[in-house]
């Protein structure tokens, strides 16, 4: 069996999804996602210029050897661009493998460990009252877990995860007005003074059953993060996400010494080498890698198994940064993983997105039910894809009030 062709498509409704389609000489094809938010043309170029020319003619069933060939075969390894590009190939090869076996992908890992996977939604508000409304909106839809972000009084601009718009998903849409990012101003003191009481008010309003998550988006220094986590203890958070910048694997030691608040980290990691110490030293409770830019199913499954040895559960990244293909790969891992925790869910499943990626996965009352179709359970409509092309866009950048550049 041989790979005969592979094509990359860039574009989508309100997003630049990077989609890979691999064809074989037996008519079976596989799909993969290489979307790297706001850097989408780069994994596409890596695929077109380096990986696809080496892929043609290989046996698609040898997904492990193909992964090793692209990883070890590149002297300068890792990084989100390369790992997103292999990630897409790997996803597509697992899609092919499962289709050849006429099985849903989760069967290739060991079958189902659960019927539905717990999801969390994103609630957001310009102020606490607007956030409360947004939380109610998701609770009414049956969500048992909600991530909460709200504006902080006196903060000079909007900041991460906060929408001033009526649309709850608005904070996520890339700014397509151009390649130059808009600037947000951040003030750690205001944030640290305001958020603990705000989170406590949410707990009081919604009761003890709601699983409350909060994302700091890498903004605090290790000592600040330790103080913040300690102050949040009475809230009973499900998790505190990315309290410190992710590069420093030791930064969480101080937080661990001062608090038992569950910590989730990893959405920016693209290899096991960025989280092995965090996992082995049990400095986190949830690992947040995404199948797309952490090197595909082959590599993420290794991270999940390592995490399982250390009582760490999964909480895969599920921002609309990824396409429904990544969400599908994660749905299959979530169905299988003995150490599954929760899944972030914010795919903008508009009619346009559903038309581009017809899917047989189901979301109901805050749970995701994996597809039983052979393969990933998501298709890609090439005719629909003709409607879209790449649009330059950007994330904001963050500065302190004196102009110092900070972490987005």
3-state secondary structure of 119: strand
Q: Can you read off the two tokens belonging to residue 322?
A: 């990824």
x/- letters, 208..237, toward ligand GCO (CB under 6 A): -------x-x--------------------
Is 321 a binding residue for ligand GCO by CB under 6 A? The answer is: yes
| DSSP for residue 378 | B
| 175/354 with CB nearer ligand GCO | 175
| 28/237 with CB nearer Mg ion | 237
Cβ atoms of 275 and 287 closer than 8 Å: yes
User: What backbone phi and psi angles, to 5 degrees, belong to 55?
Assistant: -80, -35
Query: Which residues are the active-site residues?
Result: 160, 217
Give the binding range for ligand GCO (CB under 6 A) out of 245-253, 292-300, 314-322, 381-389.
314-322
Is 270 a binding residue for ligand GCO by CB under 6 A? The answer is: no
| Maximum Cα–Cα distance across the chain | 62
For residues 265 and 35, give the distance between their C-alpha atoms in angstroms, rounded to a whole number: 20
| 6/347 with CB nearer ligand GCO | 347
Is 267 a binding residue for ligand GCO by CB under 6 A? The answer is: yes
| 289/307 with CB nearer Mg ion | 289
> Of 201, 235, 238, 240, whose CA–CA distance to 224 is shortest?
240
Is 224 a binding residue for Mg ion by CB under 5 A? The answer is: no
Q: How far is the CB of 141 from Mg ion (least distance, A)?
A: 21
| 99/217 with CB nearer ligand GCO | 217
Is 215 a binding residue for Mg ion by CB under 5 A? The answer is: yes
Q: How far is the CB of 327 from ligand GCO (least distance, A)?
A: 12
Residue 190 binding target from Mg ion, ligand GCO, none, CB below 5 to 8 Å by type: none
Q: How far is the CB of 286 from ligand GCO (least distance, A)?
A: 11
For residues 363 and 117, give the distance between their C-alpha atoms in angstroms, rounded to a whole number: 9
**Residues 6 or more apart whose Cβ sits within 8 Å of residue 227:** 192, 258
**Scanning residues 22 to 61, which ones bind ligand GCO (CB under 6 A)?**
37
How big is the CA angle at 126 (ends 368 and 133), to the nearest 5 degrees? 50
User: In this structure, how many other beta carbons lie within 10 angstroms of the beta carbon of residue 179?
Assistant: 10
Residue length of the chain:
408
Residue numbers at the binding site for ligand GCO (CB under 6 A): 37, 215, 217, 267, 317, 319, 321, 344, 395
């Amino acid at each position: 069996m041989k790979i005969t062709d592979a094509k990359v498509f860039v574009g989508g409704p309100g997003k630049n999804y990077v989609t890979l389609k691999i064809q074989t000489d037996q008519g079976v094809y596989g799909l993969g996602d290489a979307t790297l938010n706001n850097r989408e043309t780069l994994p596409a170029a890596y695929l077109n210029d380096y990986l696809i020319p080496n892929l043609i003619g290989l046996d698609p069933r040898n997904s492990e050897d193909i992964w090793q060939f692209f990883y070890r075969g590149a002297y300068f390894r890792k990084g989100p661009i390369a790992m997103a590009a292999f990630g897409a190939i790997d996803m597509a090869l697992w899609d092919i493998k499962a289709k050849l076996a006429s099985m849903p992908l989760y069967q290739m890992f060991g079958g189902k460990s659960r019927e539905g996977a717990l999801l969390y939604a994103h609630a957001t508000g310009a102020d606490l009252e607007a956030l409360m409304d947004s939380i109610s909106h998701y609770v009414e839809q049956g969500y048992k877990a909600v991530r909460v972000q709200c504006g902080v009084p006196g903060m000079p601009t909007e900041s991460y995860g906060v929408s001033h718009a009526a649309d709850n998903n608005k904070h996520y849409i890339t700014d397509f007005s151009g390649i130059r990012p808009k600037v947000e101003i951040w003030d750690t003191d205001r944030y640290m003074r305001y958020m603990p009481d705000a989170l406590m008010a949410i707990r009081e309003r919604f009761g003890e059953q709601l699983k409350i998550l909060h994302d700091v988006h890498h903004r605090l220094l290790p000592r600040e993060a330790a103080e913040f986590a300690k102050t949040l203890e009475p809230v009973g958070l499900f998790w505190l996400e990315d309290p410190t910048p992710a590069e420093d694997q030791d930064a969480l030691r101080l937080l661990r010494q001062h608090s038992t608040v569950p910590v989730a980290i990893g959405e920016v990691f693209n290899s096991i080498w960025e989280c092995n110490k965090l996992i082995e030293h049990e400095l986190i409770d949830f690992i947040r890698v995404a199948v797309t830019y952490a090197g595909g199913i082959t590599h993420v499954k290794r991270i999940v198994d390592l995490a399982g040895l250390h009582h760490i559960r999964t909480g895969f990244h599920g921002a609309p940064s990824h396409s429904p293909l990544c969400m599908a790969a994660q749905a299959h891992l979530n169905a299988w993983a003995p150490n599954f925790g929760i899944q972030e869910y914010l795919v903008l499943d508009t009619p346009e997105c559903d038309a581009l990626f017809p899917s047989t996965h189901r979301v109901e009352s805050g749970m995701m039910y994996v597809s039983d179709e052979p393969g990933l359970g998501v298709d890609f409509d090439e005719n629909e894809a003709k409607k879209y092309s790449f649009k330059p866009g950007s994330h904001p950048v963050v500065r302190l009030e004196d102009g110092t550049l900070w972490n987005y």
